[in-house]
Amino acid sequence: MEKPANQIDTVATLSDSTDFRWYLTTHGTWFVGMGLQMVIFPYLVTEVLLGSPKMIGIAQMALLAPTWVLMLFAGAIADRQDGRRMLIVMNAAAILPPLVLSLVVGGGTLTYWLIIAYALSMGVLSAFSMPTRDSLLNDVVAQIRETNADEASKVQRAVALSNMTQFGGQTAGMIIAGAAAILGTAPLIFFHAIVAAIGMIASQRLHPAVHARAKDDIAVHPLKAIREGLSEVYRSPILLPLVLTALSVGLFFAGSFMVTLPVLIREDYGGGISKFSLATVSFWVGTIISSLTLIRMGHIAHRGRALLLALASGVVLLASMSIPLPFALLCLTFLGWGLGAGVALTLSRGIVQEVAPASHRARILAIYQLGFSGGMPLGSLMMGFLIEAYGARTAVLIPAAAMTVALTVMTLRSHLWSLDQMTARLAREAAIGDAEPSAQKRDPVPEVPTSTL
């Protein structure tokens, strides 16, 4: 029996809520599939098709590039539609690409252009599903009242649990992908389709989203809705530097990771999907450990400082890849990088969820995700050319240096270093109190200084 949209669940903790568990199930199954894809996709390009570093970079760019074109549009759509229904459609559509790819790989007819077609189709689905899932999280959490916890930090805990589920799902997918050395890749790609079907069933069990969409918002043109979301971010002293930081992470960290690692595994460590899977899993195990730690710690007084320091640790560990390391030490390096990444991703996403006004939340989350996901294809393409020109060991020093510059600017020129929980809550309360129908202009918030970026 479907729960009424306005019914409040009173539970001891978030994880006791049936709706929240179904949300985590559909969220986790999506990322189990992404974990499988993160290992098998570059393996197919690198080891099966014997692609050059440039070909690997272009293939990774095809997987991520649809976010450039569609992410903001998807966020505008998600702000006006039932997120549950959209998730059902996205999970159902995600069954087809891995199903077809498994048949192609099993039949021995894989080509580079077929893998590009797969990448583009999954990229489109990811562009629509990301802002939908992120916005739906607040709708689900809004219907839960905890009896044994602080209501003010409920969203941050929900984000930490969501991130832990995401990282755990990705890690599980990557571990399963390592079995391709025994089972072959085709059965595991088929398993990706099965996981997507499970996610579709889980999303059907969610109750309809509770966030009320005003009639004016539903009628507004998508391009105008996108402009409104961009304006919200640009005028915010908190959201703007977070989006720029996410762009830097996607461009200099994620893009480097996605191209450099498979090249190093092939050229310096003897290749093989098992080694690639183990190195990748090491990173995501680190993210799980740090997410669990954040959940246990609860209140983080200086989230902006923790975010910047976590990203600074990533610069050091990325630069260390320029040194020839034993494979075990390389895996430990990725574990440490994952520890910092888990802190950075959980804190930044939690702040965005907290600060974004409900009327624009999906659009703002889409902009934030676009910063991260939009930087990844550019970073992948850049690293493909840099590795061909200088070699993998030397090439990693370039994004490490660029990220150092970006973090220095963010520390000195934005309010992230001085951001604490009270500042973020003040900005959110001011935004909510100042909220008007989307067709009207909102006055700036005088209590919070404008970012100098």
Helical pair 66-78 and 361-390, crossing angle rounded to 10 deg = 170
Residue 159 burial by Cβ neighbours in a 10 Å radius (0-12, 13-18, 19+): buried
Q: pLDDT (tens digit, 9 = 90+) per residue, 351-392?
A: 887 777 777 777 888 788 877 777 887 888 888 889 988 988
pLDDT in tens, 188-206: 999 999 999 999 999 988 8
| Positions in the chain whose pLDDT score sits under 50 | 1-8, 10-11, 152, 212-216, 218, 422, 424, 426-427, 430-431, 433-452
Rounded Cα gap, residues 191 and 193, in angstroms: 5
DSSP assignment string, 207-229: PPP-PPPPHHHHHS-HHHHHHHH
Return all residues near 289 (Cβ < 8 A) that are at least 6 apart: 338, 339, 342
Q: Which of 396, 288, 280 is nearest to 327 (CA)?
A: 280
pLDDT of amino acid 398 = 93
CA 5 to the chain's CA centroid? 27
Confidence at residue 443, expressed as pLDDT on a 0 to 100 scale: 43
pLDDT of residue 399: 92
Domains and CATH numbers, the chain: 15-433 (1.20.1250.20)
Q: Are 259 and 384 in contact (CB under 8 A)?
A: yes
Give the pLDDT confidence score for residue 187 in this predicted structure. Answer: 94
3-state secondary structure of 9: strand
**Residues 141-172 pLDDT 10s:** 777 665 555 554 677 778 778 888 888 898 89
